[in-house]
């Protein structure tokens, strides 16, 4: 693999307090565990602005902490600049993917994908929003993200191995 510019991935959900910071935290731990912290940059954002500046939802932090993940980011809203800063933008559900597609500037460099693109075909098409549900919803989000995160990393590593020509799984 070449040691060029790091790959940048952005996880996006609605408010950036449940699903996307969990994507960021799980993916950050995976990348660090493989010794690739200098090769991959990770962030998260929300399509909405309701929670800007807030930490991840307490229930999500507790569920993640129980599995050894730290969710340390503060919520922010996605911006048009993100489509130039990031190589891969991963939407947690179809509604947010559609909002992102509408926001994306023409010819932007970021590849926009659904998180479920990195899950087995039998998995749900959307990572469910646990905010208004019970505690098991937070564990379900973690289950799905733990399952998909290695596939996202494989996708990025394929791009890195191909010399950034986009040769990962599509």
**Could you give the count of Cα atoms lying within 13 Å of 127 in the half-sphere of its Cβ?**
35
Q: Which of 18, 19, 93, 126 is catalytic?
A: 19
Q: How far is CA 15 from each of CA 38, 74, 92, 122, rounded to the nearest angstrom?
A: 28, 11, 11, 26
Q: Which residues contact 79 (CB under 8 A, 6 or more apart)?
A: 45
For 11-32, letters b (16+ CB in 10 Å) and e give: bbbbbbbbbbbbbbbbbbbbbe
Q: Which of 43, 82, 126, 129 is catalytic?
A: 129
Would you say 91 and 113 are in contact if contact means Cβ atoms under 8 Å apart? Answer: yes
Q: Angle CA(20)–CA(159)–CA(145) in degrees, nearest 5?
A: 25
Tokens of 168: 């990962």
Determine whether 13 is an active site residue.
yes
Q: Catalytic pick from 13, 18, 43, 126?
A: 13
Residue 129 is among the residues annotated as catalytic for this protein: yes
Active-site annotation holds for 3: no
Q: Enumerate the active-site residues.
A: 13, 19, 129
């Amino acid at each position: 693999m070449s040691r060029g510019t790091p790959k940048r991935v952005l996880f996006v959900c609605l408010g950036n307090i449940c699903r996307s910071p969990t994507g960021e935290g799980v993916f950050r731990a995976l990348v660090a565990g493989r010794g690739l912290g200098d090769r991959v940059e990770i962030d998260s954002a929300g399509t909405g602005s309701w929670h800007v500046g807030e930490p991840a939802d307490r229930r999500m932090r507790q569920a993640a902490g129980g599995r050894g993940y730290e969710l340390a980011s503060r919520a922010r809203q996605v911006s048009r600049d993100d489509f130039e800063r990031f190589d891969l933008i991963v939407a947690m559900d179809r509604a947010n993917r559609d909002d992102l597609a509408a926001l994306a500037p023409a010819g932007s460099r970021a590849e926009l994908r659904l998180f479920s693109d990195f899950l087995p075909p039998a998995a749900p098409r959307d990572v469910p929003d646990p905010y208004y549900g019970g505690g098991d919803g937070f564990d379900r989000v973690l289950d799905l993200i733990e399952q998909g995160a290695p596939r996202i990393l494989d996708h990025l590593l394929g791009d890195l191995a191909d010399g950034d020509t986009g040769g990962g799984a599509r």
